Amino acid sequence: MSAALARPSPPRARTRSLPPRAVSAVVAAVELGLLYLVQVWPGWRTLPLLTPAAEELVPWVVGALWTGVVLETVALVVRTRWWRAVADLTSSAVGLAASVAAWDLFPVVAGSPWRTPLRAALVVAIVGGVAGVVSSLVRILGGSPPDPDARRRRRG
């Protein structure tokens, strides 16, 4: 056996991740920032690649963003697996609906070099939305075990 194969592998560096509440706060803040960009400044109308028909799509996008803000704000307080699964199901379903509406309407100027990349992004969004809905339903209907830390959190 060679010395390289006999040598133990170096210890893996620990990956640090944000606490779940911090993630929820960051996601809600990003979604609020996107809402500001779409509705206030500079506004969706400043994008030259969109046709006036995009106005029909704006409520879908705004609705999806507000849904995320509300769900992540509630997630700052409610930290159970069940709530996370319901929140994921809701956000995936609303995002999927917005993505399908964007696919149907597709208000991008003809001849724009962005048409193909945006269609590809919509395919990814739709596939991801379907996967998110299915995954959340499996978690909800599959009877995942109760959150083991829930009892301790209620006492503390």
Domain boundaries, the chain: 20-146
Which ranges in 8-80 belong to alpha helices (H)? 20-39, 58-75
User: What residue ranges in the chain does DSSP mark as E strands?
Assistant: none
Question: Which helix (DSSP H) or strand (DSSP E) does residue 126 occupy?
Answer: helix 115-141
CA-CA distance, 32 to 19, in Å (whole number)? 20
Q: What's residue 122's pLDDT? A: 97
Q: What's the angle, vertex CA 78, arms to CA 146 and CA 58, rounded to 5?
A: 120
Q: pLDDT digits over 3-18, tens only?
A: 555 566 666 666 678 7
Name the stretches of the chain with pLDDT < 70.
1-15, 143-156
